[in-house]
């Protein structure tokens, strides 16, 4: 079975961290999201993954040298300066996907525990042209909400006002599609599969839904990205519970990648995720934060609810609180206190508190 992974968007809401990596390569508990996706697809019986990307995303993905988990991996590249949206890349990949059998399509920016075998089975049984994985959320008001009759999706109601949502089920960004769907997508231009293709299928009664129960997280915005890391860390924390070392204190759950060094009397955790070769000085405190690889946190720094980009340098006594995002290679000088939600561009030097 083949799977098309959409990964050629610009991830504008995740700037500045997405200036230097596509969303699908953001680490989730120190493993690129795309690696989690490959693992799950391989478990689900997929043998070929086609990555729908732009040229720059292809470059970053190749550079990362992910384990392919036994999958054959191919690229389908949007034309230069012409992003194809969420439907155009599907039409572009038509020849690579072929017309032999149903296939999976999924957004490369979701972390989801999807049982693909079950989803495929639901698709075969329903006889629909598209079967969408549906996920239950507490408050569906900021999503497209499915109006279901049995397993048939009648329509999606976009961002309904409170109390007016037809269900709590939203599009989880993973689909099983039959090759007949290609006929519904215009060629050579950007197409939104959600707005242009699914409504047509729904009108014709050819759109079905299948509820998924496992973890489902979209990493669209920095706070969601941070939350995704915490939820996944929670879900795997038993397997990575670490002993308290003598010189500093660990408050589980934490994840420390290889090469991490922590100075005396520092307190790491709860919910501290430190990437490869991160160096933390003495008397520092890091909680509810994700620190990308090669970053350095100096003595006495306090980080709570922050994201620190790759190779960034956080000075002595610096305070980074909830929602602070420090871009790759940025430097925050000693004693600077950043207010909640402060965002620092990549490679910028911050010398004053603001
Ligand atoms: P924002 O700019 O923050 O909205 O993010 P985005 O456009 O990258 O992501 P969005 O959630 O809108 O898109 C869902 C999925 O489709 C993501 O995995 C994107 O990478 C992918 N995607 C979005 N636009 C394109 C595109 O023009 N071409 C390709 N190949 N993939 C796309």
DSSP string, 145-177: EEEEETTEEEEEEESPPTT--S-SEEEEEEEEE
User: What pLDDT, in 10s, does the model give residues 5-41?
Assistant: 999 999 899 999 999 999 999 999 999 999 999 999 9
Which residue in the block uniquely carries the two structure tokens 């194809």? 84
| pLDDT classification of 238: cutoffs 50, 70, 90 | low
Q: What percent of the chain has pLDDT over 70?
A: 98
Q: What is the pLDDT of residues 100-152, one digit of tens each?
A: 999 999 999 999 999 999 999 999 999 999 999 999 998 888 888 999 999 99
Structural domains for the chain = 2-218 (3.90.550.10), 241-350 (2.160.10.10)
CA 237 to ligand 1 center in whole angstroms? 30
* Residue 97 CA, distance from chain mean position: 24
Length of the chain: 354
- Which residue among 125, 159, 164, 241 is the active-site one? 159
Distance of alpha carbon 168 from alpha carbon 134, whole angstroms: 9
pLDDT at position 159, please?
83
Protein residue whose Cα sits closest to atom 23 of ligand 1: 9
The stretch 154-166 carries a mean pLDDT of 87
Closest residue (by CA) to atom 7 of ligand 1?
A: 9
Q: Ligand 1 atom 1: the closest Cα is on which residue?
A: 11
Mean pLDDT computed over 262-275 = 96
Match 């098309």 to its residue by tokens: 4
**159 classed as catalytic:** yes
Between 164 and 312, the more confident residue is 312
Distance (angstroms) between ligand 1 centre and the Cα of 107 equals: 8
Q: Is 85 in the pocket of ligand 1 (CB under 6 A)?
A: yes
Minimum-distance ligand 1 atom for the alpha carbon of 14: 3
Question: Of ligand 1's atoms, which has the minimum distance to the CA of residue 5?
Answer: 18
Respond yes or no on whether the N-terminal peptide bond of residue 270 is cis (omega within 30° of 0).
yes
**Region 276-291 average pLDDT:** 98
């Amino acid at each position: 079975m083949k799977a098309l992974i959409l990964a050629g968007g610009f991830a504008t809401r995740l700037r500045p961290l997405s200036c230097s990596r596509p969303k699908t390569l953001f680490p989730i508990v120190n493993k690129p999201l795309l690696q989690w996706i490959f693992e799950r697809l391989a478990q689900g019986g997929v043998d070929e993954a086609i990555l729908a990307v732009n040229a720059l995303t292809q470059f970053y993905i190749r550079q990362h040298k992910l384990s392919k988990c036994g999958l054959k991996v191919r690229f389908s590249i949007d034309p230069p300066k012409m992003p194809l949206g969420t439907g155009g890349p599907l039409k572009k990949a038509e020849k690579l996907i072929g017309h032999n059998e149903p296939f999976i399509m999924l957004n490369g920016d979701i972390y989801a525990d999807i049982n693909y075998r079950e989803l495929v089975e639901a698709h075969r049984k329903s006889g629909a042209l598209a079967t969408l994985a549906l996920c239950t959320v507490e408050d569906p008001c900021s999503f497209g909400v499915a109006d279901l009759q049995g397993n048939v999706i009648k329509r999606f109601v976009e961002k309904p006002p409170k109390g007016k949502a037809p269900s709590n089920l939203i599009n989880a960004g993973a689909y099983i599609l039959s090759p007949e769907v290609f006929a519904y997508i215009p060629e050579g231009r950007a197409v939104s599969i959600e707005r242009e293709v699914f409504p047509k299928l729904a009108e014709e009664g050819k759109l079905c839904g299948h509820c998924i129960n496992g973890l489902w997280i979209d990493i669209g915005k920095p706070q969601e990205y941070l939350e995704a890391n915490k939820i996944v860390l929670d879900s795997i924390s038993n397997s990575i519970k670490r002993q308290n070392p003598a010189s500093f204190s660990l408050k589980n759950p934490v994840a420390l990648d290889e090469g991490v060094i922590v100075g005396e009397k520092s307190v790491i955790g709860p919910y501290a995720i430190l990437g490869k070769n991160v160096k933390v000085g003495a008397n520092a405190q890091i909680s509810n934060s994700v620190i990308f690889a090669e970053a350095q946190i100096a003595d006495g720094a306090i980080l709570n609810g922050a994201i620190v980009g790759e190779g960034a340098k956080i000075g002595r006594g610096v305070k980074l609180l909830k929602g602070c995002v420090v871009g790759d290679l940025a430097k925050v000088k000693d004693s600077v206190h950043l207010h909640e939600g402060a965002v620092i561009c990549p490679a910028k030097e911050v010398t004053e508190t603001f």
